[in-house]
Amino acid sequence: MTVQGVLFYLLATVIVVATGIAITRRNLAHAVVYLVISFFGSALLFYLLGAPLLAALEVIIYAGAIMILFLFVVMMIRIEKPETPLFPVRQMIPALIAACVFVVSGALLLTTDVPAQEAWLESAVATPVAFGRFLFTKHWLAIEMASLLLLVALIGALHIGKERPESEEPAP
């Protein structure tokens, strides 16, 4: 196994473990931190696979902007901890079945041989300038809609987190 193969499996393990820890944390701030670790691992994986632009976008957009927004929302909203167990049994059984299916299919993919007749996919390389021109000429409306949705989400989070005066009763 090459050094890149070892790094790939190491990064994949870090991503899976950090994401698993993030979805099992009861403290939402800790979950956001573990999700940031997962995003940094994904960025390193993109870089290892030869996509430095995607790695930079992963760090800037996901690990930077969106996780900071999530952290602000988590800090502004007061959430009481539920008294129920973390995973009820009725949710655990379908999750275990899905996990078994994924583990078996992954094992089958790793152990089966690829026929020699199949051609490997050639990598497509796009410079950041070409990607930006394509994105902002062909998909400018989708980018504007996404930025508007993020603005509405931020305003909604500020409105939810705003403290109400004591004389005002909460709406039903």
- CA–centroid distance for 91 within its chain: 22
What does the DSSP assignment read for 32-48?
Answer: HHHHHHHHHHHHHHHHH
C-alpha radius of gyration, the chain, whole number: 21
Structure-token match 């940094």, residue found: 40
Predicted pLDDT at 172: 61
Structure-token match 């089958």, residue found: 108
Q: Are 171 and 160 in contact (CB under 8 A)?
A: no
Q: What CA–CA distances, in Å, run from 87 to 28, 32, 124, 129?
A: 16, 19, 42, 46
Q: Which top CATH class is 1-79?
A: mainly alpha
Domain ranges of the chain: 1-79, 128-163
Token pair for 34: 């573990």
pLDDT tens digit sequence for 104-157: 887 887 777 766 556 566 666 777 788 888 888 998 898 899 999 989 988 888
Residue 66 DSSP code: I
The predicted model scores a pTM of: 0.56
**For residue 87, what pLDDT band results from cuts at 50, 70 and 90?**
low
pLDDT tens digit sequence for 92-117: 788 788 888 888 887 887 777 766 55
Token pair for 16: 């899976």
Q: Reply yes or no on whether the pLDDT at 84 is more than 70.
A: no
d(CA 62, CA 67): 6
> What is the length of the chain?
172
Nearest to 11 by CA among 65, 53, 58, 64: 58
